[in-house]
Amino acid sequence: MSAMITIFLTLTILTLSLAHSNLGSNTFFSTYGPQVDLPFTGPLSFAHLPYSKCLDPTPTQAQPEEFDVALLGMPFDTSVSYRPGARFGPFGIRAGSRRIRPNRSWTIAWGADPYEGGRVLDCGDVPVAISDNALALAQMEAAYTSLLFHPTKSNASYTSPFAKDGLEHPRIVTLGGDHTVVLPILRSLNEVYGKVTVIHFDSHLDTWTPVNSGVSNDENSISAITHGSFFWKAWTEGLMTERNVHAGIRCKFSGPQDLEHDSSVGFALLTTDDIDHLGSSGIAALIRERVGDGPVYLSVDIDVLDPAFAPATGTPEAGGWTVRELKAILRGLQGLNFVGADIVEVAPGVRYEWFVFPASCDAEGTAVIAADLVHEFVSMFLAQGPVREARDTWAERGWVTEFVGNGNENGGWARKWEMPG
């Protein structure tokens, strides 16, 4: 019996090696070229970027150990006031990014592909404790700090002018997770930059005190730290300047005293409805004026958008901005001194249709939007110049553009593009 097995194994090995040697030069590579990722193939990293477990002493991928921008998932959702599920945010955002790829990410607005040159790396997720929030916060802070002190890839000096040690530190785009993840992030940033100014897109204030909002009667307890109180906590710890700003606020309050308290912890406020008077550019201009030229941290809660666009989130609020409006405002912030950014409260698990009918479900739509916003953050962080319009690109290429106005002094809004014949 064992002789038969030996013969069988020998024949099998012979057959396999013959099959291999018969390939000759007729390999997949020689016939079809590199093993590229299609939108629907490959392992799950953000935008098909290289993926590395950057928190390990020996990263899983030997090659891309240096980066200028890192993506880091924080799948933490155990301090929410309503629906949990944001622990699936990093997975969902990566899945929503599948149609973004290096070499297929050039946009008119930025005039560049931010993934060109290998400066962006997906560093995976922080393994967070699921039954101990104090431990989870410590883990997220340690992870963020580990990446902050990672060497950068290029010689550019985006962050060194603001760093206490005068060195260049990478910028991290965090994939949440519920909004509480910003507290360990601000604690970590404080080590490098001191106080930072926060630009906070959200339908909610997130500055509520735990006692007044009824989530805890002990301000010093870990139970006091939730996704609705973390900015209050960050303020008490001296992590933020007095020039912070909320944009897109429209939730329901306990009364005007919530707004007074918000103002007392360093925030100014732009409501969702302000866009009707100011427009996207007016909103961006006020934000810029407010935050000034120091180090700025950008935090975007997906629920700043209307639930018509992004329903897969834990505490949806009706009457929000469109994706296009939010992107226009974000682009208006180009040139500020961002030291980091996040997209939080993406909870694709809220709608389980993802796995049943992905083409039309709410979870996928929300995740596609979140991934697109991450692409905007990365593009803005690595942009070489101001945001562009199509006519800038056409002009560079020698193509003719013509304004067709309505004759008034504003010159008219319709534009006629004459393509080369």
User: Coil, strand or helix: which one is 114?
Assistant: coil
Is the Cβ–Cβ distance between 52 and 121 less than 8 Å? yes
Query: Closer to Mn ion at the Cβ: 68 or 301?
Result: 301
168 near Mn ion, rule: CB under 5 A: no
* CB neighbour burial string for 384-409, b if at least 16 within 10 angstroms, e if fewer: eeebbeebbebeeeeeeeeeeeeeee
Residues 199-228 that bind Mn ion (CB under 5 A): 202, 204
Start-end of H helices in 52-105:
89-96
Min separation Cβ 203 and Mn ion, Å: 5
Min separation Cβ 179 and Mn ion, Å: 6
Angle formed by the axes of helices 133-148 and 182-193, nearest 10°: 40
Is the Cβ–Cβ distance between 239 and 192 less than 8 Å? no
Residues 6+ apart with CB under 8 A from 320: 203, 248, 250, 272, 303, 304, 305, 306, 307, 309
Query: Closer to Mn ion at the Cβ: 148 or 363?
Result: 363
301 near Mn ion, rule: CB under 5 A: yes
Please identify, among the stretches 217-225, 234-242, 302-310, 369-377, the one whose residues bind Mn ion according to the rule CB under 5 A. 302-310
Site for Mn ion (CB under 5 A): how many residues?
4
Measured distance CA(379)–CA(382) in Å, rounded? 5
Please identify, among the stretches 1-9, 96-104, 194-202, 265-273, the one whose residues bind Mn ion according to the rule CB under 5 A. 194-202
Query: Closer to Mn ion at the Cβ: 64 or 311?
Result: 311
Min separation Cβ 302 and Mn ion, Å: 8
Which residue sits closest to Mn ion, CB atoms considered? 204
Min separation Cβ 133 and Mn ion, Å: 19
Nearest by Cα to 183 from 243, 231, 219, 215: 231
Query: Closer to Mn ion at the Cβ: 195 or 204?
Result: 204
178 near Mn ion, rule: CB under 5 A: no
Please identify, among the stretches 196-204, 215-223, 284-292, 378-386, the one whose residues bind Mn ion according to the rule CB under 5 A. 196-204
Nearest by Cα to 291 from 374, 201, 377: 201
Rule CB under 5 A: choose which of 303, 362, 364, 376 binds Mn ion: 303
Q: Which amino acid is at 216?
A: S
Min separation Cβ 230 and Mn ion, Å: 11
The sign of the CA dihedral 237, 239, 243, 248 is: negative
Cα 316 to its chain centre, rounded Å, is 19
Query: Closer to Mn ion at the Cβ: 102 or 316?
Result: 316
Start-end of H helices in 221-353:
230-236, 256-264, 274-291, 323-331
Query: Closer to Mn ion at the Cβ: 181 or 383?
Result: 181
Please identify, among the stretches 158-166, 277-285, 296-304, 351-359, the one whose residues bind Mn ion according to the rule CB under 5 A. 296-304
Query: Closer to Mn ion at the Cβ: 141 or 303?
Result: 303
Q: Which residues bind Mn ion (CB under 5 A)?
A: 202, 204, 301, 303
